[in-house]
Amino acid sequence: MGTRRLGSFGLVVVGALGGVLVSLGITAAAQRGDPLPLKDLQQFANVFGAIKSSYVEPVTDKQLIEDAIKGMFSDLDPHSAYLDADAFKEMEAITQGGFGGLGIEIGSEDGMPKVIAPIEDTPAARAGILAGDLITHIDGKPTKGMTLSDAIKLMRGEPKTTIELTIQRKGRDKPLVVNIVRDLIKVRSVRSKLLPNDIAYVRIAQFQERTVQDLTRQLGELSTKEKPKALVLDLRNDPGGLLDSAIGVSSAFLKPDVLVVSTKGRIPSSNRNYYAKPADYMRGYFDVAAQSASGAKVADWVKTVPMVVLVNVGSASASEIVAGALQDHGRAKVMGNRTFGKGSVQSVLPLSEDTGIKLTTARYYTPSGRSIQVTGVEPDITVDDTAQGNLFRLPREVDLQRHLINGNVVEDESVVPEIEESESDVTPKMFEFGGDDDYQLSQAVNFLEGRQVKQNDPKLVAQAEKSRKGADKQDAGTASDTTPGRRGASGPEQRKDKPASSGNNHSSDKPAAEKKTLEKTNNGAPVEHFRITPEGIMPVTQ
């Protein structure tokens, strides 16, 4: 990587997108610590030599080394990873706002790629891909055991070419097959518009290199005629991004020199306080010319007008830094749902010109000293995604395997929100963020204009519940499942009217029997039911 590219990566990234090009401080710190375990390294060298010389098929040195490096990350937290040449290039493209492919951010679960979030206004989003979808096949090829880098390689391709994804979605017994046409993805970080009654609406989809400049420019455009009376900052489904951008965005709305976020880690360079600085959000833009018709500078009115920040389960990391800072300083009311709960900072250390490692090096804390790792940011005013109830069912940080523990809280139901399970086979209807059908935005406007704020519409919730129960009743009439409410073999629900079916409440010393249900057969034959017992698989008498 040349000097120019290396410089463009000198950034801290706290979202799913990237990190800080930590200098050789990490290596130096490691050398200052415990001495290298020479005996264990000799054992590693022996294994390396044995595989290289005796494995049934030849394996290159490069492949063995890369696999060994990947193995070192297998038991770390889910945000630490080895970045091969493709992954390293992908990270650079994302942080700079453009890349080719489908427009989804993916993680891993059960050895398969899982959608962290579809990126707004991309082929994946338009095709109906939802956060939490598990990708089981790519063009018919099973993804079980596939590395994320391999999955990314299969999903990337030339624009206008078609790819077929097979999706497993919670609440659906049958997989979904989705055909998507690849395109050149250019993520638009900031969108804005003026709502009725002079309320400014600004949406940040990701925190990228140009986010602060774009935000400042659009705030200026919103005030060219007259100063807006209120402001809504939309961070819903924003997975995070660059720490510098999060600090710059916070600086636009906070008084100068107040604390935005602090980070704490094992090495000295990880222990820092970040403060609001005017230069962070005015850099590259006008100071004097950014005035409304009334003469008020952008830097003045955005710090004083009434403000609401919209968040949901898909708001992560950098989004949580901004929401937490504005909430702690009393600058804005946070509205929506509890956020994702990613309170860690990733740093990127280059290993060569085109490879590196992304390593979790610190936890971050809001101005009041809160760690939101696992817990997320709790909104001041809870409002459902839609009038019919919540739509997004993205697993939070706490649901990721090997997530970092928040030492200040006990992970139980009081602090860890449950993932809502879909009780209907009807695909949720996605609304447009900032559109006329955006329920949370309408409630934010109600709050800013002094009207009543509703969490949802009870009548519509009741209608939706009635519709779901009707669908369940119809399913029960057509299937022979003797357990009310079960959604088939893959369904998460257990029978609630017979506690003995639960392993925790079983009256005997034997493990609780698990029921295996086959909803349908290909030829329409009667459905058979089985129980897995200590004695084996036993048929269930109907």
Q: Please give the positions annotated as active site.
A: 317, 328, 342
> What are 55's two structure tokens?
């494995």
Q: State whether residue 505 is helix, strand or coil.
A: helix
Amino acid found at 477: G
Tokens 């880098």, residue located: 149
Please tell me the total number of residues recorded for the chain in this structure.
542
Distances (CA, A) of 314 to 238, 240, 342, 365: 6, 9, 10, 19
Q: What backbone torsions phi and psi does residue 329 show, to the nearest 5 degrees?
A: -85, 0
Strands 333-336 and 199-204, by their bridges, are unpaired
CA-CA distance, 464 to 470, in Å (whole number)?
Answer: 10
Alpha carbon of residue 372 to chain centroid: 14
Of residues 86, 67, 79, 104, the one with CA closest to residue 13: 79
Beta-sheet strands, E only, within 152-271: 162-168, 176-181, 183-186, 190-195, 199-204, 230-234, 259-265
Pairing of strands 307-311, 230-234: parallel
Sign of CA dihedral 454, 459, 464, 466: positive
Left (φ > 0), alpha (ψ -120 to 50) or beta: where does 15 sit?
A: beta
Whether residue 354 contacts residue 411, with contact meaning beta carbons closer than 8 Å, is answered with no
What are the distances in angstroms from CA 312 to CA 9, 379, 487?
29, 9, 27
- 447, 433, 446, 517: which is closest to 479 by C-alpha? 517
Rg over alpha carbons for the chain, rounded to the nearest Å, is: 26
- Amino acid at residue number 271: N
Q: Which residues pair with 517 in a beta bridge?
A: 529
* C-beta separation of 385 from 461 below 8 A: no
d(CA 232, CA 191) in angstroms, rounded, equals 12
Residues 298, 288 contacting (CB under 8 angstroms): no
DSSP characters over 368-437: T----TTT-PPPSEE--SBTTB-------GGGSTTPPP-TTS--STTTSPPPPPP-SSSPPPPPPTTSTT
Element (H, E) at 104: strand 104-109
